[in-house]
Amino acid sequence: MSLLDVRTIEVVYHRAATAVQGITLQVPAGRIVTLLGPNGAGKTTTLRAISGFLDADDARVTDGDVIFDGEAVTGWLPHRLVRRGLVLVPEREKIFETLTVMENLQACRRGGDLDAIFTYFPQLAGRRRQLAGYLSGGERQMLALGGALLCQPRLLLVDELSLGLAPIVVRTLMEAVRRLRDELGLTILLVEQNAAAALEIADHGYVIENGRIVHEGAAADLLAHEDVREFYLGGARSRAGRTYRDVKQYRRRRRWFA
Amino acid sequence: MQAVAGVVVLASLYVLLGVGYVLVYRASRVLNLAQGDLMMVGGYALFAAVTTVSASPLIAVPLALAVGAAAGVVVYALLMRPMAGHPVFAAVLVTVSLGILLRVAVVLVYTDQARYPLPAMDLGNPPVRLPGGAAVSTLDALTVISAAALLAGLLAFLRLSRLGIRMRAAAERPLLAAQRGIDFHALFALSWALASFAGALAGVLYASNVRLDPSLGILGLKAFAVALVGGLDSLGGLVAGALIVATVEVLTIRHVNPLLSDVSPFLCLLAMLLVRPWGLWGTREELERV
Amino acid sequence: MVRHRALTLLLVAAVVVPAQASDAYRIGMSVAITGPAAGIYAPAFDAYKVYFKRINDAGGINGHPVEIMFEDDRGEPSRAAANAKKFSEGVILIVNASISPTYKPLMTEADAEKIPLLFGGGVCPREAFPPAHPLIFCSTSFGAQWDSRFAVPFIKAHAGSKAKVGFVAQNIPVSQAEMEFAEKLAREQGLETLPVIVVPGGSADFTPFAAKLKDAGADWVLSWAPWPLEIGVFEALGRIGWTGRYVTYAHQPAQDDLARLKSPNLFAFGGNAMFTEGLPIHKEIEGAVKGQTSHPPHYLVEGWVSAMVLEQALRKCGWPCSKDKLAQTLATVSVDTRGLRGGPIEWTAENHYRQRAYYKVYRWDTGQRAVVPVGGWTKLDVK
């Protein structure tokens, strides 16, 4: 039984533009599921659709359902979902810059064990009184994760954890995420452009393109998949060279009806 | 010395009114141009309480303040919340209309005759002697004390309490706040309640000290200029702005030309806009919103 | 409030304007029923309504009803001009109870059509003083220069020669000119004077101006301006602990604020007897206007006196009474004000203000816990 069950949802912005369509995915409890895809594919929209839109976003889930722990939560406001244990770490604007590190951590409505956070993110411990706006990229991400964790989530949605960060920092963060699953039994849906890093810790993965899920499978299978390797993992296809025809047919090859 | 006392009293009144502008703006980026009329409503709430409920100030004053705070919540729930997602200037226009409506409602019920709640409560307003031969009225002194207490209370609340942290969080990033479980609509309603409470307090004090009539709202306009001078999202700047504007106003009356008294706050504002448009301690980026 | 007034206007028009009767005395009244100054002048509208309804119910004057066309000028000159145009057809007199910016358009029209103009409520224009304009008449109790000619000697008599006198005016020409005049008069009479302090009318806070007076060491202050400013400055002075004496013109709300403030240092002087004296005429007015006005009865006194003068003039004019005849008649009236003023209002060809101005001073007496007169009527000959 999946903790999160997304069934063929469609999201429309400004009552005019369909951003994603027919998105179906499941996140089993205690697992890390990753959602891969290029820029503008609809990954963030999917996460926002699950974690709730505000009036100001002018976006609606116009079809399908989001089932969280057996309860239909489609269209719920974000703060209500947090109380159920569904927490998002957004891609941008992920911390309160005018608040201190400590205040950022205290912001969440539900409140949890602060000291535990510092064991996962020791760098934050020394910066409690510092204004969050002065933190480095990696520290911000840690603070964002820490702040979200203090909301006592049962399902954590993470949007682009690795964006703009150095590989070593990415590794540290991914390691922390893995520990969250292993040690706390936390369920995580991880949206990533950095497929390699994500697939290393994920159990299962989906690929989304142009607003639709085009591929899914166990992480190991995805890692081995030809097209995934070519488009997302930087691996070359097993051909000796590339003829003009190969290059010309590149786009046509991007069909995922495998 | 009398001049100094006068400056402090005037600045205190500006602070009480200005708090309303700052709180609402910080929370929701809305310019609450009905703040002056909320002050007027507070004064009339006191008068209504005194004449219909109880002439005892111990009952009438808290009642008037409660009505004032409740008015803020009602205004938020009925008028401002539906404006969420709409452009900010539309919300500002709503506050302008609200101010007009409040004034018309008051005139319909009470006419524009001046009213005096203080004698109705059987209280006097004797002068308080200060060093240097100066004197202020008892209510003047109460105004100063109230402004200081309110400011201290607000700063402590915002800095130290969990609710205050959440309010600041919601003011900075409403979406992220929602994603951290904070119901920012409730917090916006709270900031409106606090704003109208402060306005009602100003109204109660002023109506008892001077007089009560529907044109009280004009003070709100002067206080708005003061809030802009201080930086619309800064409580500290508000105090500084209030002291500066009050000083300019009092000195202008004494030494330059008394007819410039009502204009002084706006002259200060003009000067500030030329030199430092985001106000004394306002955040630079707020400039675009205003 | 506006709706109430408009409705009343219609009803009144139905009562006081019989179906196009040419056998009535037709009078036009331009009054600030609404607008910022309505608080001061709208009572005159009520006063005229009640007064002439009584007269008409009793059979009119010389057997003919008095028909008054009421027009709201809102205190705006353009509206007053429009009202004057409306009146020019067939009225024999125009009454004005409004602020001074409305005077010029009315006077221009009155001049053009040769219709007499009676000011009953607003400050008397210069043209009513001797030598008077043939068409301009004024029954209002307060008048420029004459009021100071009473107040300054009063201050001198009570203050002694060592007193420093301050002067407070509103930023309108008539008030400023009067206080400049008073200051000069005071100096001539040997009093030590402070420069006139001009206060913007719309000020929410009079404290800085009061502070100026207090710091300058004023012992006595004279103020001649619309009532809200007069009393507002006094209250501000009280709040900052000033203990001097304040002399000011008693406009219609004066008795209420004297009773509210209970200060023995406030002297209000005026041409009208305050209703606190409870004279028979006061009781009569209170009875007559009961239920007919939302204003306190004493707010109607200026309008009432003006209506008394008009009644007398119409009686004397007889029937038929043309505008020319009425203008001539007005210049000969002697109206017994029955105690509302200190004496009769007497007009001559030269003097359309009054032959004698009467003043009485009132203050709050802490012993008696009441508003009481200070002495009796003082008479000034108007030349």
Chain A residues 165-224 with CB within 8 Å of chain B: none
Is the distance from CB of B136 to CB of B126 less than 8 angstroms? no
Q: What is the pLDDT averaged over residues B101-123? A: 88
Percent of chain C predicted with pLDDT > 90: 79
For an interface test with B, which of C207, C212, C227, C293 has the most B Cβ atoms less than 10 Å from its Cβ? C207
Q: Rg (Cα) of chain B, in Å, rounded? A: 19
Measure in Å the smallest separation between the Cα of C322 and chain B Cα atoms. 40
Q: Is the Cα dihedral C174, C177, C180, C185 positive or negative? A: negative
CATH number attached to the domain at B2-289: 1.10.3470
Q: Mean pLDDT over residues B57-86, rounded?
A: 91
Does this model's pTM top 0.90?
Answer: no
CA atoms within 13 A on the CB side of A210: 4
C320 reaches B (C-beta below 8 A): no
Scanning B171-190 for CB atoms below 8 A from A yields: 172-184
Integer-rounded Cα radius of gyration of chain A:
19
Cβ partners under 8 Å of residue B97, min gap 6 = none
Nearest Cβ partner of B175 from A54, A58, A103? A54
Beta partners for residue A34, in sequence order: A190, A205
Considering chain B, what percentage of its residues have pLDDT values greater than 90?
59
- Read off the DSSP letter of residue C64: B
Shortest distance, CA C135 to any CA of chain B (angstroms): 35
Q: Domain spans of chain C? A: 2-142+278-357, 146-270+359-381
- C270 within 8 A of C255, measured Cβ to Cβ: no
Return the closest-CA partner of residue A6 out of A43, A59, A38, A58: A43
On whether any CB of chain B is under 8 Å from the CB of C34, the answer is no
What pLDDT score does B217 carry? 87
Q: Which residue of A has its CA nearest to B180?
A: A108
Fold agreement between C2-142+278-357 and C146-270+359-381? yes
- CB-CB neighbors (< 8 A) of B216 in chain C: 204
Q: Decide if A90 and B179 are in contact by the 8 Å CB cutoff.
A: yes
pLDDT class of B243 with cuts at 50, 70, 90: very high
- Number of Cβ pairs closer than 8 Å across A and B? 84
Q: A205 forms bridges with which residues in the sheet?
A: A34, A217
Q: Which one of A55, A94, A109 has the shortest CB-CB distance to B176?
A: A94
Note whether C touches A: 3 CB pairs or more under 8 A.
no
Give the CATH fold of the C2-142+278-357 domain: Rossmann fold (3.40.50)
Residue from B137, B213, B249, B263 to probe the interface with C (highest C Cβ count within 10 Å): B137
pLDDT surpasses 60 at B188? yes
| pLDDT value for C43 | 94
Give the C window 183-212 contacts with B, CB below 8 Å. 197-200, 202-205, 207-209, 211-212
Nearest Cα residue to A233 out of A177, A182, A195, A189:
A195
What is the biggest distance separating any 2 CA atoms in chain B, rounded to whole angstroms? 58
Interface contact B210-C204, CB threshold 8 A: yes
- Which residues of chain C fall below pLDDT 50? 18-20
From CA A199, how far away is CA C45, in angstroms rounded? 89
Is there a contact between A56 and B84 (Cβ–Cβ < 8 Å)? yes
Residue C19: its pLDDT value, please? 43
Cβ distance C207 to B258 less than 8 Å, yes or no, reads no
- Partners for B (CB, 8 Å, 3+ pairs)? A, C
How many angstroms separate the first and last alpha carbons of chain C? Answer: 43
Interface probe for B, chosen from A98, A101, A114 (most Cβ of B below 10 Å), is A98
Token output for C108: 């221009």
What is the spatial distance between Cα A230 and Cα A6, in angstroms, rounded to a whole number? 28
CB crowding B161-171: b at 16 or more within 10 Å, else e: eeebbbbbbbb
Tokens in use for B31?
């310019």
Domain positions in chain B are 2-289
Q: Which CATH superfamily is domain C146-270+359-381 in?
A: Response regulator (3.40.50.2300)
Contact B258 C232 (CB under 8 A): no
Per CATH, which fold does A2-253 belong to? Rossmann fold (3.40.50)
Pairing relationship of beta strands B135-137 and B127-129 according to DSSP bridges = antiparallel
Closest Cα in chain B to C295: B113
Interface test with A, best of B157, B163, B180 (most A CBs within 10 A): B180
Which pLDDT score, from 0 to 100, does residue B55 have? 86
B252 is written with which tokens? 């202008």
Task: Give this complex's ipTM.
Answer: 0.85
CB contact under 8 A, C238 and B127: yes
How far CA B288 is from CA of A98, A201, B161, B224, in Å, comes to 18, 44, 30, 18
* 258 residues of chain A, pLDDT tens digit each: 789 999 999 999 988 888 899 999 999 999 999 999 888 888 999 999 999 988 778 888 999 999 999 999 998 999 999 999 999 999 988 999 999 999 999 998 776 788 888 888 888 888 889 999 999 989 999 999 999 999 999 999 999 998 889 999 999 999 999 999 999 899 999 998 888 889 999 999 999 988 888 889 998 888 888 777 777 776 655 555 556 655 555 555 555 543
Residue B179 is nearest to which of A82, A98, A106, comparing CB atoms? A82
